Structure 1
Amino acid sequence: MKHVNIGGVPEHFNLAWYLTLKKGEYKAEGINLCWHDFPGGTGDMCKALRKKEIDIAVILTEGIIKDIIDGNPSKIVQTFIQTPLIWGIHVANDSAYKTVEDLRGKTAAISRYSSGSHLMAYINAKNNDWDLKNDLDFKIVGGLDGAIENLQNGNADYFLWEKFTTKPLVDNGTFRHIGNCPSPWPCFVIAVGKDFIESNKEDLKTILRIINKTTSEFKNIPSIDKTIADRYNQKIDDVQEWLSVTEWSQKLIDKQTIIDAQHELFSLNIIPEIVDYRTLTAKV
């Protein structure tokens, strides 16, 4: 049986992987697919891909584009979530900050450099006409738990994280939500190490075929809203809202989207150059 390591954030976006693993669909095809949670997010997954600790990552588009350009020997093989990610902008519940403009020049908590929370802070700054050199400051906190601690003790002032994941923390008074910053592109892609693609193409095709069948039918799974609410400590109304604004994809990310994303990242000095579509993607 072929052993394959895959990583992703432990969030509702990846429930389809859990469902297919629970049903033993990969093992039925001779593949022992082992899921690894990465609560630290994209930066941690990029590091794991480089070290070959995982073969596949379900990862934020902007983060893996930057890391491939920076030398990560991986390729994007498919879009996973076609719709943008809605990043909530959060402060501590007792914070004096009331609006996004109040955060100009303040310290953003980020999971790590080159993570989604880091890169999207630049997008938010650009959206609000901030000075990217003088109005941004960062505190590395490692993930959601670190953000809670650092916002509460005043070591950081605000934190960007997926709106629905953090909603329970808003509801219980840990965070206060003061705005949104949607990603300007499809939010999650599937990235795979180049060596794995070259030596395990048929296994990769099988894995994609299985997950794509489930994601194409995901919203029609009976009581899927209740399943998500129970598993991820969400309110049913929030889950239904999330389902209404989220679309999965079963196709390779298109060339124009890759070009547009790179131009945006380049304009923010996040990437040093714009590279060819084939440098970032592989069709399997």
Structure 2
Amino acid sequence: MKKVNIGGVPEHFNLAWYLTLKNGEYKAEGINLRWHDYYGGTGAMCKALRSGDIDIAVILTEGIIKDIIDGNPSSIVQTFVETPLIWGIHVAENSKFKTIEDIKGTRAAISRYGSGSHLMAYINAKNNNWNLDTDLNFEVIKNLNGAVEGLTNGDADYFMWEKFTTKPLVDDGTFRRVGVCPSPWPCFVIAVRDEYIKNNEDDLKTILDIINTTTSDFKSIPSIDRTISNRYDQEIEDVQEWLSLTEWSQDVMDKKTINNVQEQLFNLDIIPKKVDYSELVYKI
């Protein structure tokens, strides 16, 4: 049986992977797919793809595009979640900051450089007409637990993370949300090491066929809202809102979307150049 390592964030977006693994659907096809949780998010997964610790990543669009341009020998093979990610902008409950304007020029907590929390801070700054050179400062906190500690202790001032993942921390008074910032593109893609694609394209196609069958019917799975609520410790009404806002994809990301992401990242000086579609996307 062929072993394949896949990484993703331990969040509700990836429940479909858990369900297909639990059902033994990959093993039935002779594939030993091993899931690895990456609490450090996209930056940590980019590093793992580069080192070969994982073969496949379910990863934020902007982060993997930046890292491929920076030399990561991987390719995007498919969009996973078509809709934008809604980033909550959080401060500590006892923070003096009340609005997005209040956090201008303060310290953003980020999981690591090149992560979604890092790159989306630029998008938020652009949306609010901040000076990208003087109004953005960063403090690396590794993961969500690090953000709780960093904001509570005053080591950083605000933190951007997926709104529904952090909602329990808002509800229990750890964080206060001062705003939201949707990503201006489909949020998650499936990226694969080029070496793995070259040697295992048939297996990769099988893996994608299995996950796509599940995501195409995901919302109609009986009691899926309760399953998500219980597994990820979220209120049922929050899960239902999230489900109403989220659409999965079974298609490869098109050239227009890729070019739009690159254009915005380039204009923000996040990437040094724009590259051809074929350097970022591999069509299975």
So what's the TM-score if we normalise by structure 1? 1.00
Letter of the structure 1 residue corresponding to residue 105 of structure 2: G
Structure 1 residue 41: deviation in Å? 0.1
Give runs of aligned pairs for residues 1-284 of structure 1, distance below 5 A.
1-284=1-284
Number of matched residues? Answer: 284
Letter of the structure 1 residue corresponding to residue 29 of structure 2: E
| Cα separation, 1, equivalents of 2:126 and 2:101 | 12
Q: Mark the runs of 5 or more structure 1 residues left unpaired by the alignment.
A: none
| Cα separation, 1, equivalents of 2:10 and 2:154 | 27
So what's the TM-score if we normalise by structure 2? 1.00
Partner-residue secondary structure (3-state), 1:200: helix
| Cα separation, 1, equivalents of 2:203 and 2:16 | 18
Structure 1 residue 140: deviation in Å? 0.1
| Cα separation, 2, equivalents of 1:230 and 1:124 | 32
After superposition, what is the alpha-carbon deviation per residue over 1:210-256, rounded to whole angstroms, capped at 9, x for unaligned?
Answer: 00000000000000000000000000000000000000000000000
Partner-residue secondary structure (3-state), 1:35: strand
Letter of the structure 2 residue corresponding to residue 204 of structure 1: L
Q: Mark the runs of 5 or more structure 2 residues left unpaired by the alignment.
A: none
After superposition, what is the alpha-carbon deviation per residue over 1:242-271, rounded to whole angstroms, capped at 9, x for unaligned?
Answer: 000000000000000000000000000000
Calculate the aligned-residue CA RMSD, in Å. 0.3
| Cα separation, 1, equivalents of 2:186 and 2:260 | 11
| Cα separation, 1, equivalents of 2:39 and 2:236 | 23
Partner-residue secondary structure (3-state), 2:222: coil
| Cα separation, 2, equivalents of 1:169 and 1:142 | 17
Letter of the structure 1 residue corresponding to residue 278 of structure 2: R
Spell out structure 1 runs of 4+ moving beyond 6 A.
Answer: none
After superposition, what is the alpha-carbon deviation per residue over 1:53-83, rounded to whole angstroms, capped at 9, x for unaligned?
Answer: 0000000000000000000000000000000
Identity across aligned pairs (percent)? 72
Partner-residue secondary structure (3-state), 2:159: strand
| Cα separation, 2, equivalents of 1:40 and 1:12 | 16
After superposition, what is the alpha-carbon deviation per residue over 1:101-153, rounded to whole angstroms, capped at 9, x for unaligned?
Answer: 00000000000000000000000000000000000000000010000001001
